[in-house]
Amino acid sequence: MIVNLDTALAILQRGETCAVPTETVYGLAARYDDEHAIQKVFSIKQRPLDHPLIVHIAHRKWLGELCTDIPAYVNALIEHFWPGPLTLILNKTARVSHLVTANQSTVAIRMPDHPDFLQLIRKLNCPVVAPSANRFCQTSPTQPSHVESGLGTNIPVLDGGPCSVGIESTILLATNQNTTEILRPGIISTADIESISKVPCITQSKSNIKTPGKHKVHYQPKKPLFVTNTMQELSNVLARHPDTRYYVMSFFDFNDTISPPYTVMPDSPEQYAQVLYSHWQSSTILEVDAILMELPPDRPEWQGIRDRIFKASHGFIE
């Protein structure tokens, strides 16, 4: 159910939840200080309570209410990246409920770069929790129609158009004075962060999954997703499994030389991220058995995208 900004505001004010646009993915919003409303967010998402939420703010000055012992380099990161797709994990104050942080002593905070959501937070005059507006473990929505197909048409959605970034924010642990650590890669890379913070940034283990079945499936599209490293391997899979109906997502343009439906993916990470989830979403209505993807290259600027594809996938296929 599409709602306007004033209705979205009234919904949050009375302790209900509303889906909201951000530049990354749509979120399911509630006031950060309303435990009852936050409970509803967990229950609508069917998300276990041990998964903490990101608090979204509209003013830097609100940070003091939410966190403490902020390392000096954090100011430079905020100056450069906010509003934008960078979430900072900082030590929390007593005002942040344990329900938000899943009993941890830290809180995740970001300032989203979407004019409608920022305006909504300003009018509410209160920080807002907003996990991605999808059922637990499923693909995050990047358009209002994805929210409705995932959570049902009764969920109120503030329509802010398609998300411009398209994958979830980079999450950076920023509690240590001398180093940072990426907990979830995104479109903002390790090198981007180091160049601004001037302290070393530890990246997640590069190994990710190398064998199927060893990872926790997350960001999962409705159709099973398989990956190959190269275009040649992808062509081999099509030849070996003629009876499986694949939806192919690759860099290579087949120019109508194959019969399965296929999409030629953009070769810049920014444009790729913008369309990735909507292609997964649209595979739902195609008459296919599975999605088959050629992986983007193992280079730093693709880490956020590779992370989502690996976590959503059932692994490599031959």
Residues that bind ligand TXA (CB under 6 A): 22, 24-25, 27, 51-54, 85, 87, 89, 101, 104, 106-108, 112, 130-132, 168-169, 171, 183
What is the smallest separation between the CB atom of 312 and Mg ion, expressed in angstroms?
A: 12
Total residues binding Mg ion (CB under 5 A): 1
What is the smallest separation between the CB atom of 175 and Mg ion, expressed in angstroms?
A: 22
What is the smallest separation between the CB atom of 237 and Mg ion, expressed in angstroms?
A: 29
Contact 91, 175 (CB under 8 A): yes
Alpha carbon distance 176, 73 (integer Å): 10
- State yes or no: residue 87 binds Mg ion (CB under 5 A): no
Alpha carbon distance 140, 146 (integer Å): 8
What is the smallest separation between the CB atom of 242 and ligand TXA, expressed in angstroms?
A: 38
Binding to Mg ion (CB under 5 A) within 104-143 occurs at 132
Alpha carbon distance 165, 142 (integer Å): 9
> Which C-beta is closer to ligand TXA: that of 7 or that of 101?
101
Q: Report the partner that residue 24 touches, choosing among Mg ion, ligand TXA, none (CB closer than 5 to 8 A by kind).
A: ligand TXA
> Which C-beta is closer to Mg ion: that of 132 or that of 278?
132
- State yes or no: residue 235 binds Mg ion (CB under 5 A): no
What is the smallest separation between the CB atom of 129 and ligand TXA, expressed in angstroms?
A: 8
Q: Report the partner that residue 263 touches, choosing among Mg ion, ligand TXA, none (CB closer than 5 to 8 A by kind).
A: none
Q: Report the partner that residue 23 touches, choosing among ligand TXA, Mg ion, none (CB closer than 5 to 8 A by kind).
A: none
> Which C-beta is closer to Mg ion: that of 169 or that of 189?
169
Q: Report the partner that residue 155 touches, choosing among Mg ion, ligand TXA, none (CB closer than 5 to 8 A by kind).
A: none
Q: Which residue in 114, 120, 159, 119 sits closest to 19, CA to CA?
A: 159
Helix 115-124 / helix 5-13 crossing angle, nearest 10 deg: 40
At residue 306, φ and ψ (nearest 5 deg) are: -60, -40
For the chain, give the number of residues. Answer: 318
Q: Report the partner that residue 143 touches, choosing among ligand TXA, Mg ion, none (CB closer than 5 to 8 A by kind).
A: none
> Which C-beta is closer to ligand TXA: that of 108 or that of 312?
108
What is the smallest separation between the CB atom of 171 and Mg ion, expressed in angstroms?
A: 11
Segments in the chain forming alpha helices (H):
5-13, 35-45, 63-66, 73-81, 98-101, 115-124, 144-151, 190-197, 231-240, 269-283, 303-312
Long-range own/partner contacts, residues 230-233 (CB < 8 A, 24 or more apart): 230/294, 231/294, 233/318
Alpha carbon distance 30, 122 (integer Å): 14
